[in-house]
């Protein structure tokens, strides 16, 4: 059975499943090299045609809100492409948060878990009196046997205490091809919190935006570390947020502190042995680390594909789980595009050289930035060794060297890749055995502060990726041969662009920067720009 999942709107993507297993995934923003693309994944859908014979069993649409016209457009576009869908594109609508939740739950590999979904905003919810709200925070109890919503925060300009729309519903205008027999349970005990106060992800996003970091909450997270906390109100309305002093690093720090406090309180209230975290705020690596410190007795999983791009996968997961159909969790998030050949019109000052991996290590030891390209691209916003720029972190001016290449803001910290077995030597891991997707920023130990200071942020943290042979053999081999078991690892892109996706993107980056070396590990070839 072939099922196509499509996420429209913010960070659109396309996923193709064959008998419950993902066989294709594309993020539109990476394909077209537009960082904040917000519409329909036209190119990704076209790319998916190479993986099936224009016949699908189902096509599921995920978006913020069900819009009849959107489904009609999808139907028409599929017909335009001569794609036959045996069962018409589903009119089933799962709330934005529910789609996030199932994506994270399945990939956590827990048999049952409590899932926290916190982001800027999810789907609109309409109260019985037609008043409009939208979800900002949801908590679910999910398993393969029973699934229910236990808490949902709804933000509105007017407070109403009425009945709410279900979290999973059929739309009566198209009832063909239903496969879901059991919708999500919302009971009389489900807690709905309706207020006009900003909460968690929405609060963090609004404050970030006011500081000039629109859709760049990760930058704001790096910026706030330069300040010290000041007293700040416990609750904000939108108007109050817009009155904040945009020049105050201290207030930015206070916002992070308040976010952490409120998030910790939420988790404490709904604590569970197995907890899963998703939505955009799951990329707040400082908060993730502190949650591990606060709840050492619990099993925590932070979804590395927690942004909206993962929802083309999540909508398929949700429907299959609720329908009691088999679904395979992702083995890893190296699920993007692959560079299949190096056929390219190189310029006179560019040439390929066949190399041994020892030569790559030597280039790094000489203080060069080396791009590493191998296998399928990482999904999501993190470079995890397949589309990365690497540099020796023991260099005192390493940050300046990399910032010059990337052309990015000076205050932003850099991440690192470190051998899994050495992580606890350099960082206080707080019981975290591994973090292969850079989902935590642990505190640095004295050895890290002294030997790899270029990686240590002003708050004494560093976002890290632990590496073992199974997760990334090439990067593991390089680290084993390097004079320290750590390398600065940042995304292969320039400021303002997504991570490179094609050979064209790679060469455009090389030609627009001072980057001189790119190692194509699958071909044992080194690109050299003189």
Q: Which two tokens stand for residue 461?
A: 């943290």
DSSP string, 117-169: EE-S---EEE-TT--EEEEEEEEEEEESS-EEEEEEEEE-SS--------SEE
Q: Which residues contact 183 (CB under 8 A, 6 or more apart)?
A: 166, 167, 168, 169, 322
pLDDT over threshold 90, residue 297: yes
pLDDT (0 to 100) of residue 51: 95
pLDDT (0 to 100) of residue 176: 46
Domains of the chain (ranges plus CATH)?
Answer: 2-93+307-332 (3.30.420.40), 337-529 (3.90.870.20)
pLDDT over threshold 50, residue 337: yes
With cut-offs at 50, 70 and 90, classify the pLDDT of residue 113: very high
Q: Do the bridges between strand 124-126 and strand 132-143 make them parallel or antiparallel, or are there none, so unpaired? A: antiparallel
Mean pLDDT of 336-346: 96
pLDDT (0 to 100) of residue 405: 95
With cut-offs at 50, 70 and 90, classify the pLDDT of residue 413: confident
Q: Residue 374's closest CA among 322, 338, 410?
A: 338
Mean pLDDT of 306-322: 94
- How far is the C-alpha of 231 from the C-alpha of 244, rounded, in Å? 13
pLDDT (0 to 100) of residue 194: 83
Mean pLDDT of 349-371: 97
- How far is the C-alpha of 178 from the C-alpha of 421, rounded, in Å? 48
pLDDT over threshold 90, residue 256: no
pLDDT over threshold 90, residue 268: yes
Mean pLDDT of 107-111: 98
- How far is the C-alpha of 105 from the C-alpha of 156, rounded, in Å? 28
pLDDT digits (tens, 9 = 90+) for 425-475: 999 999 999 999 999 999 999 999 999 999 998 889 999 999 999 999 999
This prediction's pTM: 0.92
Q: Which residues contact 515 (CB under 8 A, 6 or more apart)?
A: 369, 371, 389, 405, 509, 529
- How far is the C-alpha of 265 from the C-alpha of 437, rounded, in Å? 26
Whether the CB-CB separation of 453 and 396 falls below 8 Å is answered with yes
pLDDT over threshold 60, residue 204: yes
The residue with tokens 């990760």 is 218
pLDDT (0 to 100) of residue 178: 47
- Calculate what percentage of the chain has a pLDDT beyond 70: 86
pLDDT (0 to 100) of residue 233: 59
pLDDT over threshold 70, residue 110: yes
Mean pLDDT of 214-223: 71
Q: Which residues contact 209 (CB under 8 A, 6 or more apart)?
A: none
Q: Directed axis angle between helix 249-269 and helix 285-294, to 10°?
A: 40
pLDDT (0 to 100) of residue 212: 72
pLDDT (0 to 100) of residue 201: 83
Whether the CB-CB separation of 382 and 469 falls below 8 Å is answered with no
With cut-offs at 50, 70 and 90, classify the pLDDT of residue 196: confident
H/E stretch holding 83 reads: none
Report the range of poorest mean pLDDT among 1-15, 111-125, 150-164, 473-487. Answer: 150-164
pLDDT (0 to 100) of residue 395: 97
- Calculate what percentage of the chain has a pLDDT beyond 90: 66
Report the range of poorest mean pLDDT among 218-222, 365-369, 389-393. Answer: 218-222
Mean pLDDT of 338-353: 96
Mean pLDDT of 219-223: 69
pLDDT over threshold 60, residue 236: no
pLDDT over threshold 70, residue 230: no
pLDDT over threshold 70, residue 91: no
Mean pLDDT of 83-112: 87
SS (H, E, C) 379-438: CCCCCCCCEEEEECCCCCCHHHHHHHHHCCCCCCCCCEEEEHHHHHHHEECCCCCCCCCC
Q: Which two tokens stand for residue 75?
A: 């139907």
pLDDT digits (tens, 9 = 90+) for 157-180: 665 555 566 676 544 444 444 455
Mean pLDDT of 410-422: 90
């Amino acid at each position: 059975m072939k099922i196509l999942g499509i996420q429209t709107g913010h960070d659109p993507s396309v996923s193709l499943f064959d008998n419950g297993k993902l066989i294709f995934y594309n993020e539109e923003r990476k394909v077209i090299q537009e960082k904040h693309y917000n519409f329909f994944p036209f190119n990704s859908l076209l790319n998916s045609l190479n993986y099936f014979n224009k016949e699908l069993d189902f096509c599921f649409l995920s978006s913020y809100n069900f819009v009849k016209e959107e489904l009609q457009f999808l139907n028409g576009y599929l017909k335009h492409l001569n794609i036959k869908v045996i069962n018409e594109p589903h009119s089933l609508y799962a709330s934005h948060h529910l789609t996030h939740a199932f994506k994270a739950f399945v990939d956590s590999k827990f048999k049952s878990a409590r899932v926290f979904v916190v982001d800027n905003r999810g789907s609109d919810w309409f109260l019985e009196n037609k008043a409009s709200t939208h979800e900002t925070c949801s908590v679910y109890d999910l398993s393969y046997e029973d699934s229910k919503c236990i808490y949902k925060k709804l933000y509105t300009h007017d407070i109403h205490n009425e009945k709410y729309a279900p979290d999973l519903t059929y739309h009566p205008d198209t009832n063909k091809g239903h496969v879901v027999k059991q919708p999500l349970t919302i009971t009389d005990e489900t807690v709905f919190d309706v207020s006009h106060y900003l909460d968690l992800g929405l609060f963090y996003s609004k404050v970030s935006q006011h500081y000039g970091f629109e859709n760049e909450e990760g930058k704001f997270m790096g910026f706030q570390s330069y300040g010290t906390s000041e007293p700040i109100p416990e609750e904000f309305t939108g108007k109050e947020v817009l009155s904040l002093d945009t020049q105050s690093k201290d207030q930015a720090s206070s916002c992070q502190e308040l976010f952490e406090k409120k998030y910790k309180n939420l988790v404490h209230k709904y604590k569970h042995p197995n907890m899963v975290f998703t939505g955009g705020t799951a990329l707040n690596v400082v908060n993730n680390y502190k949650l591990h410190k606060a709840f050492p007795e619990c099993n925590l999983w932070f979804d590395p594909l927690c942004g909206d791009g993962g929802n083309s996968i999540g909508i398929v997961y949700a429907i299959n789980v609720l329908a009691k159909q088999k679904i395979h969790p992702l083995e890893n998030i190296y699920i993007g595009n692959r560079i299949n050949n190096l056929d390219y019109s190189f310029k006179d000052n560019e040439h390929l050289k066949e190399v041994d991996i020892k030569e790559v290590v030597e280039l790094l030891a000489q203080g060069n930035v080396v791009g590493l390209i191998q296998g399928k691209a990482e999904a999501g916003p993190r470079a995890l060794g397949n589309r990365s720029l690497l540099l020796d972190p023991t260099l005192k001016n390493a940050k300046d060297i990399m910032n010059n290449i990337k052309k990015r803001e000076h205050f932003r910290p850099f991440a690192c890749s470190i051998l899994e077995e050495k992580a606890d030597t350099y960082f206080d891991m707080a019981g975290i055995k591994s973090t292969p997707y850079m989902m935590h920023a642990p505190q640095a130990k004295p050895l890290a502060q002294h030997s790899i200071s270029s990686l240590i942020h002003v708050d004494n943290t560093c976002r890290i990726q632990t590496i073992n042979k199974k997760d990334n053999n090439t990067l593991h081999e390089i680290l084993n041969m390097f004079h320290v078991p750590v390398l600065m690892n940042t995304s292969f892109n320039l400021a303002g662009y997504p991570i490179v996706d094609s050979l064209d993107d790679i060469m455009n980056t090389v030609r627009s920067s001072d980057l001189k070396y790119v190692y194509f590990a699958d071909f044992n070839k080194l690109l050299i720009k003189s």
